[in-house]
Copies of this chain bind each other. A is one copy, B any other.
């Protein structure tokens, strides 16, 4: 028999211990949220659903962590320091107490890791038959208002950087799918790394302070490097030439690409147009480039310079990805699309 706690017991046992002081132990209809003095509130909202953002059968602990981290990635991109979140949890039709227990473990681990607390939310059934889990999180951060890095502030001449490596997520998705279909029996260390990168993204909170201090624009990459950079270009009315070979690819991704029977160009272009990177595009005005690079090095965290933005005009909009010959590569698509 499936064991299921009541809504009240479930909240009291698993969620209330994660709550903050203004949340009344999650016994109230709402919560009071105190913003530090002289700071402005930053809110963001990302939802993830089974079969779309994570595979059926994913460890519920990782589902919870992905739901939190996709949101923290957005806050990091703005230069905002996260402090709390609200959780709407649409339970899968086959949930039981073990599912909730594992899910709450993921919440707890990330509350601790990122210094955030749960300030309320809602639990509900999704719909009667065979539906998967749906998790919507609203995350709260704070910032000095003048430091907020939107997508709109990139200007001609500003330098573009990207954190970490691109393409691990989309490779991890393929591997995770193969694994859940029993096509991949024993993932090697590189493959495990890539699956982890897909299932539990690492929000680049290390960069929050530098984004706030130096960035004229910034965004996180969730739907693919090319498409997301084009969104930033469009919002800022700038354009960019990017050398394909400059885009950082992890050694694990390179190892995995070698096992695929496609040309190197096809392999690499699939990485820069897939989703689930959760790396940051960071735009720095020329005058601040030296300080930004110096301080980044001290963090010992990999960032890569990709070039300078140009003004957008009728014949040059968005992003050109240039091959080794300096000519634009024709891409079959630009990014992951939801529908």
Which A residues are within 8 Å of any B CB, using their own CB?
A: 4, 6-8, 24, 27-35, 40-53, 74-75, 77-78, 80, 86-88, 90-91, 95, 119-128, 131-132, 134, 136, 138, 140-141, 143, 145, 148, 150-152, 219-220, 231, 235, 337-339
**Interface residue from B30, B121, B126 paired with A75 (Cβ < 8 Å):** B30
Q: How far is the CB of A307 from chain B (nearest CB, A)?
A: 22
- CB-based contact A29/B90 at 8 Å: no
Give the number of times this chain occurs in the complex, counting copies.
Answer: 2
A34 partner, pick from B40, B80, B119, B120, beta carbons under 8 A: B40
* B29 engages A43 (CB within 8 Å): no
The complex places the Cα of A43 from the Cα of B30 at a distance, in Å, of 6
Task: Check B74–A29 contact: CB distance below 8 A.
Answer: yes
Judge whether B337 and A6 touch: CB under 8 Å.
yes
Is the Cβ of A235 less than 8 Å from the Cβ of B40?
A: no
A151–B32 CB distance below 8 A: no
Q: Indicate if the CB atoms of A45 and B123 lie closer than 8 Å.
A: no
Given A30-B80, A43-B119: A51 and B136 within 8 A (CB)?
Answer: no
- Of B27, B47, B90, which contacts A122 at CB under 8 A? B47
A32 in contact with B27 (CB, 8 Å): no
Residues of B within 8 A of A138 (CB): 43, 45, 86, 88, 138
Q: List 14 A-B contacts (CB under 8 A).
A: A27-B231, A27-B235, A28-B219, A30-B74, A30-B75, A30-B80, A32-B145, A46-B122, A49-B124, A88-B136, A90-B134, A125-B339, A126-B134, A138-B138
B132 in contact with A127 (CB, 8 Å): yes
State in angstroms the CA–CA spacing of A339 and B126 once bound together: 11
How far does the alpha carbon of A132 sit from the alpha carbon of B126 in the complex, in Å? Answer: 8
Contact present for B91 and A339 (CB under 8 Å): yes
CB distance from A25 to the nearest CB of B (A): 9
- Chain B residues near A40 (CB, 8 Å)? 32-34
Q: What residues on B are CB-neighbors of A46 within 8 Å? A: 88, 122
B45 touches A121 (CB 8 A): yes
Which residues of chain B have C-beta atoms less than 8 A from A337's C-beta? Answer: 6-7
Q: How many Å lie between the Cα of A43 and that of B24 in the bound state?
A: 12
Q: Closest B-chain residue to A46, C-beta based?
A: B122
